[in-house]
Structure 1
C-alpha cells in the first residue's frame, strides 16, 4: 500500500490491494493531495496514465454513508465512458455500504428513476440526462460536494458544455470542481477557469508509457492495404488490434473483405446502436474477436485494456490525432505496436510525426509467413523545422514465436 492512500477508507485500500497495484502513477501522485484538500483542479493526463483513479479515489474517499443523497457527480461525454467510470467506482466501493447509479442518455428512463429511489451516494452520467433529471426534480444535488468533468475537451466539442454549466449551477457554490482531459487546449482551459475557483493545474506527460511502444509502417498501394492488414492479423500471435478508419462509410466494405478471408472482427461506427456497440465492445474486450474496426469518433473516451496493436489503416489528420490513437496500446507501461499502413505518398507524414515525437520509426515486412521489423534511418527536425538525418544501422527482428526460438538456438 502506497503512503498516499494510508488515510483513505479501508474499502478503498482493500480494493487497491486486490487490484494488484503497487505504486501510484505520476498523475495520481500529483493530483490526489489537492483533491483531498477540496481544491478545484484542472488535470491534463494522456490516455493510459491512470487518470480515472486519479480523480475517482479522492472523490469516493469523501463519501458519507450516513447521507442518503448524491454527494459526487461524475460527468462524461459518452455513454461508454460513463459506464467505464461507473465500473471503476463500483469496484472501489465494494463492501463499503455506498451505492451509485449510472444515468446515461438513451437508456430507459424508468429504470434510472428506480435507481434514484434507492438514494445512491455517487452518480455517473452524461450531462444531458443528469441535467434533465435535476430539472425534473428527480435528482437532488444539494448534498453534492464534488463534480468531476471527464474528457472536458470532448464535452465542449460535442456541445455539452451548456448542460454541464446548468448541472454545476444547480449545486451549492462551495462544491469542488475537477476538470480532466487527455489533452487540454486553451479553449478548454479558459472554460474550466471560468467555472472553477483558483484551480490547481496539473499536467503530466506520457514518456514512460510511450517508451514501450514500437512504431512501424508497411508500404503498399491503397488497394492492397486490406490484404496487408489480413496478413498482419494472420501472422501475429495473440493479436488484439484496434484498426482506425477515417470514415464510417468505408467500414462495411473493408469489414466484408476481411470477413471473406475468414478474419474475425467487430465494427464500431458512430451510427451503431447502443446494443450493437455494447456487444462488439464486450466481444473485443473478452477476446472473442481479435480485431476492432473503428473511427476516432466512435472510440472517444473508451478504455480497452491490453490492446497489442493500433493500426492506422487510414492516416489521421495530424500528429495530435496520431498520438491519441497510438496511445491506446502500450498502456500503463505495457508493450505495444503501432502500425501505419501507408502508400508511398503518405510515408513522409508518418516519418515527420514520429520524428517530432522523438521515437524511432521502423519498417515492417511480411517474409515467409513471418512479421519482420527493420529499422530505418531516423529523421529528426530541428527547431526551425528543417530535416536533419541521423544514421541508424539496419537490423531485422522477427516477432513470430517460431523465429525467436530459432534465433535463440543459433546464439
Structure 2
C-alpha cells in the first residue's frame, strides 16, 4: 500500500485492501494530492487508467459523517456511468457511517425523494435530474464541498453543460470543481476555465499508461466481415470481446447472422430498456456470453473488467473514437487485443490512427484454425497459441510455414 493510501480514513484503507490493489496508477498518484488540497482540477487520462478512484477517494475522504447534508456531488452524462460511480462509492464507504444516493433521470422520482430524506452525504446523478431536484427545493446543496463532472467532453456534446452550470451555480463559491475526461478538447478546456478558479491540468499521455494492448487488423471484404468475426471468436479460447458497429440500424442484421452461426452474444443498443441493458451487461461481465455487440453511444463511460478483445467490425469516424473504443480492453495495465476488420480501402485509416497514437500495428490472419499475427514492420509471423483468457500467453516467432500447426479446428 502506498503512503497516499495510508493518509486516507481507515474505511478507505480497508476497502482498498479488500479490492486487491497493490499500487496507485499514474493519474491517481498525480491527482489525489492536488484534490486533497481542494484545488480546482482538470483531469485528462485515457480510458482504463483508474480515473474514478483518482477523484472518488479524496472526495469521500473529506466527507464529515456528522454533517447530515450533501457534501459531494458526482455528475455523469449517462445513467450507466452514474451507477458505476455510485457502486464504487458504496464499496469504498463500507462501514464508514456515510451514506449516498443515486439521482438518475428516468428513474422513479418518489424513490429518489425517499433517499434524500435519509440525508445522504454524497450523491451521484445525471445533470438534468440533479438540477430538477435543486430547483424543486428537494435537494439542498449549501454544504457541498466538491463537484465532480465526469466525461466532461460528453456532457458538452450531449448538451448537458447548461444543467451542470445551474447545479454549480446553486452551490457556494468556495466549492471545489473537478472536470474529468479521457480526452479534453478545446471546448471542454474553455468550459472548465470559465467555471473553475485557476484549475490545474493533470494529464497522462497515452504512451505513459502501463498497458499491454496489441493493435491489429484483418483485411476483409465488407460482406465477409461478420463471418471473419465468427471465425475469430471460434478460434480464440476464453475470448471476452466488445464488438463495435456504427449504427443501431444494422444491429439486428449483424446479431442475427452471428446467432445463426451459433455465436452466443448480447446486444447493447441506445434504445435498449434499462432492464435489457442491465441483464446484457451482467451476463457479459459474468462470462455467460462471450461477445457484446454495441455502438459507441451505448457504451460511453461503461467500465467492464477483463475485456480481452475490442473488435471494430465497422471503423470509427476518427482517431478519438478509435482510442475511446480501444480503451475498453487492456484496462489497468492488463493485456488486451484490438482488432480492426477492414476492407483494403479502410486500411489506410487504421494505419494513420495507430501511427498518430504511436502504437505498432500488426496484421492478423486466420490460418488452419489458428490466429496468426504478422508483424508488418518486421515482416515476421507470430502465432497466438497457447492462449490464456483470450490473450496470447506466449507469442513465439516462426518463419517456416511447414512448422505451423496444421490442425484445423474450424
Equivalent residue for 1:229?
229
Alpha-carbon displacement from aligned partner over 1:317-360 (angstroms, at most 9, x marks no partner): 11121111111111111100000001111111112222222222
Give me the whole-angstrom Cα distance separating, in 2, the residues matched to 1:104 and 1:293. 25
Q: CA deviation at 1:160?
A: 0.4
Q: CA deviation at 1:274?
A: 1.3
Match status 1:281 vs 2:281: yes
Alpha-carbon displacement from aligned partner over 1:73-94 (angstroms, at most 9, x marks no partner): 0000000000000000001000
Equivalent residue for 1:394?
380
Query: Which consecutive unaligned segments of at least 5 residues does structure 2 have?
Result: 398-402, 404-410
Q: CA deviation at 1:405?
A: 9.6
Report the more deviating stretch, 308-317 or 368-377.
368-377
Equivalent residue for 1:382?
none
Equivalent residue for 2:366?
366
Equivalent residue for 2:172?
172
Do the aligned partners of residues 197 and 252 (structure 1) sit closer, same or farther apart at CA in structure 2, a change above 3 Å counting? Answer: same
Give me the whole-angstrom Cα distance separating, in 2, the residues matched to 1:406 and 1:142. 58
Equivalent residue for 2:46?
46
Give me the whole-angstrom Cα distance separating, in 1, the residues matched to 2:204 and 2:396. 39
Report the more deviating stretch, 82-91 or 320-329.
320-329
Equivalent residue for 2:336?
336
- On the 8 A contact 1:101/1:116 being kept in 2, the answer is yes
Equivalent residue for 1:267?
267
Provide the secondary structure at the position in 2 that maps to 1:39.
Answer: coil
Give me the whole-angstrom Cα distance separating, in 2, the residues matched to 1:201 and 1:215. 29
Give me the whole-angstrom Cα distance separating, in 2, the residues matched to 1:206 and 1:108. 40
Equivalent residue for 2:77?
77
Give me the whole-angstrom Cα distance separating, in 2, the residues matched to 1:401 and 1:187. 43
Equivalent residue for 2:407?
none
Give me the whole-angstrom Cα distance separating, in 2, the residues matched to 1:406 and 1:179. 40
Within 5 Å, give how 1:5-404 maps onto structure 2. 5-209=5-209, 211-377=211-377, 392-401=378-387
Using structure 1 for the length normalisation, give the TM-score. Answer: 0.93
Q: CA deviation at 1:278?
A: 1.2
Give me the whole-angstrom Cα distance separating, in 1, the residues matched to 2:48 and 2:5. 21
Q: CA deviation at 1:393?
A: 3.7
Give me the whole-angstrom Cα distance separating, in 2, the residues matched to 1:227 and 1:210. 33
Aligned length: 395
Alpha-carbon displacement from aligned partner over 1:261-312 (angstroms, at most 9, x marks no partner): 1111011111111111111111111111110111111111111111000000
Report the more deviating stretch, 393-402 or 177-186.
393-402
Report the more deviating stretch, 317-326 or 95-104.
317-326
- On the 8 A contact 1:370/1:400 being kept in 2, the answer is no
Q: CA deviation at 1:208?
A: 4.7
- On the 8 A contact 1:209/1:331 being kept in 2, the answer is no
Give me the whole-angstrom Cα distance separating, in 1, the residues matched to 2:109 and 2:387. 51
Q: CA deviation at 1:398?
A: 2.8
Q: CA deviation at 1:95?
A: 0.3
Give me the whole-angstrom Cα distance separating, in 2, the residues matched to 1:210 and 1:59. 25
Structure 1 stretches of 4+ moved >6 Å: 402-408
Give me the whole-angstrom Cα distance separating, in 1, the residues matched to 2:297 and 2:159. 14
Do the aligned partners of residues 294 and 165 (structure 1) sit closer, same or farther apart at CA in structure 2, a change above 3 Å counting? Answer: same
Give me the whole-angstrom Cα distance separating, in 2, the residues matched to 1:186 and 1:223. 39
Q: CA RMSD in A?
A: 1.8
Q: CA deviation at 1:66?
A: 0.4
Equivalent residue for 1:388?
none
Provide the secondary structure at the position in 2 that maps to 1:77.
Answer: coil
- On the 8 A contact 2:382/2:396 being kept in 1, the answer is no
Q: CA deviation at 1:6?
A: 2.0
